[in-house]
Amino acid sequence: MKKNVIILLLLSLSTFAQKNSSLTFEDYLSLRNVANPVISPDGKNVVFSVTTADWKENNYDTELWLSKNKQTPFQLTRTLKGNSVAASWSPDSKWIAFLADRGDKNQIYVIRADGGEAQQITKEDEGINSFSWSPDGKTLAISITEKDSKSLKSKKERYGGFEVDDEEFKLSHLWLVDFSTDLFPSPNEKPCYDSKDSTKTCITLPKPRRLTQGDFTVTYFKWSPDGAKIAFTHQPNPLIQSNAHADISFIDVSTKKKSLLVSNVGGDFLETWSPDSKSILYATSLSDTISNYYKNSKTFSIDLATKTSKSWVSDFDENINVIEWANEGIYFTASQKTKMKLFLADNITGKVKEIQAKFDLIASPSFSKDAKQVAFLGRNYDSLFDIQIGEIADLKFTALTNMNAQIASWQTASSEVIKWKSKDGAEIEGILHKPKNYDPTKKYPLLVLIHGGPTGVDVPTPTPGGSVYPILQFLEKGALVLRPNYRGSAGYGEAFRSLNVRNLGVGDMWDVMSGVDYLKSKGIVDTTRMGSMGWSQGGYISAFLTTNTNVFKAISVGAGISNWVTYYVSTDIHPFTRQYLQSTPWSDKDVYLKTSPMTNINNASTPTLIQHGELDRRVPISNAYELLQGLQDRGIPSKLIVYKGFGHGITKPKERLAAMWHNWIWFNKYIWKEAVEMPLDK
């Protein structure tokens, strides 16, 4: 009888957890998102992507939508059990090409903007990585990953599966494939008798022609506006550390002659062509291979004929995202503290001015051929991103979507940007979210949500939480939520991003704890009910707080680093550690100990939830096991949850739902002293 009472109690508590919030986790995870607007060259139409949660298939489905002449958008593609991505307009604005896997890996499909069915124009065994229309619309440049060599096939057949670390990879190269507007089946197409399906028709598709080859891999490419050349970024291999050796070349399309154009000691990356096809714009770290992870990238143009270079935006203190080189200058976006702005660097004077669009955040701008019309993602602090379109001259924009309708009935988060001084005097900003009916005379539980990066940045939003943290539900339950932009965050300049060099964890903890102290000084925090959480770098900082503080009642560590020594030897991004700690474990063990959560594991006392992807290469799961064992040896309440089949991020809705529940249960237990169980009823 007693057992049955306990079961009923737990079920009632679980039900209460759902009723305690007007918003279910499924509601939150089912939010549709718009992205990647691409305006037609004539400036009339916009194609963009919409991502939707597919709970039945446990996936996220991305499809293309189209708005014509600023009219209500409609769904353009439907790829079953797959995505339709990378939309690109033909130069005459009549066709939209895109990538989709409809049963035979990613291939290029085209569809008329006026309507009709999408038609496949490639069928490559390895699929298509990316593509670009030629300016005359008659050819597509495509990137294809090379097939297994005969020697590799023989090795697999004879010796089975093994590989030599950092020596097993496939290169990607450029090919050309013709495009014809006559896509109707040819009368000469016959049944495929060699196919398992004898009724299947053998459709003749254009055969790609190789453009580049050699011991390098192409990572990005772009046609010159006159169509005579293709410039491309290439590096020795596709491994992540190889991008430090990236160079830029161009190839004459008619002769296939390749010419090396930019080759600095550090990485060089193609941005775009000048309107007259005489120069390219590129980003580079010049000779810097020891601090380019946190210092500003440099922007140059180089004349193809004279090889003379010109520096751009050298006095702009932030990394820039180049969008377009137009007749009037170079358009780019950049973070400015908690805002994302659009800028123009004048072609003649080089001076930078902000495009005064009335949005707090502007992302992914796309320009018409004459650069007079622009489409972009735009939103203010209290809204979701919508697709915007308008003339760059008068700055009057029309919203093509209304994504905020999804959250019209929600109790969304209020956002306030606050500032405080850290332990060393550095000024830190953060986003403070308050519960509805906030009363400044009361004290509230405080939850700290720490972003990743470290060069990420938190900005005000009505729907904070990412994919695994139930922040809206915590707010509705009556908590304050602080999201600090600790040292290293983007948008605050190079010097700020450098403040945690050789001081990772330590300086980050100063910033978080000084933010907590600032809120405590306002008399609004219940110091007996505080918690911290974060993923990746945010998970690392949370782990550091676990072993170096005792003010929190609960902490959640998502894909966090626990020991820089073991992380250094097992991650796929070794240069990150060498740059931020300015050493290897063998040359300066002290800095590795100073910045590792495990160093002070004997001081840990906070109940800690650990979440990690089983196949994480960026932060290998050994970090999770190391922290777990240390906490368990100390007798501290701790739990590790491994998400099967996932890498550094959890990318499917059902596992995101599980992760959200795991955090909800953990913080309810230790902050609110409430027992909650994951519901198993349908």
pLDDT, one tens digit per residue, over 197-241 is: 656 666 678 899 999 999 999 999 999 999 999 999 999 999 988
3-state DSSP percent of the chain in helix, strand and coil, to 5 = 20, 35, 45
Q: What is the pLDDT of residue 198?
A: 59
In terms of Cβ atoms closer than 10 Å to its own Cβ (0-12, 13-18, 19+), residue 255 is: exposed
DSSP string, 346-384: ETTT--EEE---S-SEEEEEEE-TTSSEEEEEEE-TTS-
- pLDDT exceeds cutoff 60 at 586: yes
Say yes or no to pLDDT of 269 above 70. yes
574 in Cβ contact with 626 (< 8 Å):
no
Q: What is the pLDDT of residues 289-301, one digit of tens each?
A: 999 999 999 999 9
Domain boundaries, the chain: 32-131+172-206, 146-170+214-312, 323-407, 411-671
pLDDT band at 333 (very low <50, low <70, confident <90, very high): very high
SS3 315: coil
* Mean of the per-residue pLDDT values of the chain: 93
**Which pLDDT score is estimated for 524?**
97
Confidence at 147, pLDDT banded by 50, 70, 90? confident
CB 453 within 8 A of CB 488: yes
Quote the pLDDT of residue 183: 66
pLDDT at position 3, please?
36
Q: Crossing angle, helix 622-633 and helix 537-548, to 10 degrees? A: 20
Give the pLDDT confidence score for residue 204 in this predicted structure.
Answer: 74
Both tokens of 44, joined, read 């009339």
The answer on pLDDT for 348 being more than 80 is yes
Using one digit for the tens of pLDDT, what is the confidence trace for 636-652? 999 999 999 999 999 99
Instruction: Please compute the mean of the pLDDT values over residues 238-255 and round it to a whole number.
Output: 94
CA distance 141 to 176: 5
Give yes or no for residue 148 having a pLDDT over 70.
yes
- The phi, psi pair for 550, rounded to 5°, reads -140, 25
List, for residues 162-198, the tens digit of each pLDDT value: 888 887 889 999 999 999 887 665 655 666 655 566 5
SS3 string, 559-596, reads CCCCCHHHHHHHCCCHHHHHHHHCCCCCCCHHHHHHCC
The CATH T-level fold of domain 32-131+172-206 is Lipocalin (2.40.128)
- Which residue, among 566, 571, 505, has the nearest Cα to 538 in the 3D structure? 505
Model confidence band, residue 11 (pLDDT cutoffs 50, 70, 90) = very low
Q: Quick one: pLDDT band at residue 553, thresholds 50, 70, 90?
A: very high
| CATH code that applies to domain 146-170+214-312 | 2.130.10.120
Backbone angles phi, psi at 597, to 5 degrees: -55, -35
End-to-end CA distance of the chain: 26
Q: What is the pLDDT of residue 32?
A: 97
> Is the domain covering 411-671 a CATH 3.40.50.150 domain?
no
Reported as a pLDDT band with limits 50, 70 and 90, residue 4 is very low
pLDDT exceeds 50 at position 402: yes
